[in-house]
Amino acid sequence: MPIVVVLLLVANLTFFVYARFDDANSGEPDRLQQQIQPDKIKLLTPPQVAALGPAKMAALADVCIEWGPFSDVERVKAVADLESLQLGRLLSARRADIDNVYWVSLGPFATKALADQRGAELRAQGIADVSAIDMGRGQFAVSLGMFRTDLAARARAESLSRQGVGLARVEARGKPMSQTMLVVRDPQQSVMARFKELQLQYSGSDLKVGACPTAS
């Protein structure tokens, strides 16, 4: 047998024995380090989580659905609409400063009494999210909702017009508006379905699925 072949056999045998010995003596952390492939780990964005579908999404840990934003009047009604789900501690609320808010209103009125009277008339017509607002300088308005987009605000004004409520104004508010987001942890499929139904009843509200907000 040529000497070169013999040397190659010895070299390969030595490498094999060394590799086996090194693997046998490596600890569990070393083996885990070899098994994990960081480049193949992917973090899902909220849209990607939502795309998983309700069943898969509900199986993930620390996943929340956020619904809103709501004014104080809307929040009370929205929470009441969720009572049948019996969410208990899974349901919470957080305040959020919303920029670029579009406001739908009636007015101005010379006194708060007049604004309150008009608001009562609207509620008697079945109009929701109605409240009297002090605009300063001795003027008052009837607020008919705050919305994230001009389109949603104008849709609200058009809906009010069809209900016989004319002269509703839509205007952008330059200052951030503090409103409420409703948060549900680990939503099940039935909860997701109910939220999607309710969203259609609250103009300007959004549903967001993703990591649960951290406690402040």
Contact 177, 141 (CB under 8 A): no
- Pair of tokens at residue 131: 């409240």
Note the pLDDT tens digit of each residue in 107-129: 999 999 999 999 999 999 999 88
Indicate the pLDDT class of residue 80, thresholds 50, 70 and 90.
very high
Return the pLDDT at 93.
93
Residue 23 to residue 31: CA distance in whole angstroms? 8
Share of residues in the chain with pLDDT > 90 (%)? 31
DSSP 84: G
pTM: 0.52
Note the pLDDT tens digit of each residue in 160-193: 999 999 889 999 887 777 788 999 998 888 888 9
Amino acid identity at 149: T
CATH number for domain 101-174, candidates 3.40.50.970, 3.40.30.10, 3.90.480.20, 3.30.70.1070: 3.30.70.1070
Q: Please measure the distance between the N-terminal and C-terminal CA atoms of the chain and give it in whole angstroms.
A: 77
Q: Is it true that domain 46-98+178-211 has CATH number 3.30.70.2030?
A: yes
Residue 189 to residue 209: CA distance in whole angstroms? 13
Residue 79 to residue 72: CA distance in whole angstroms? 11
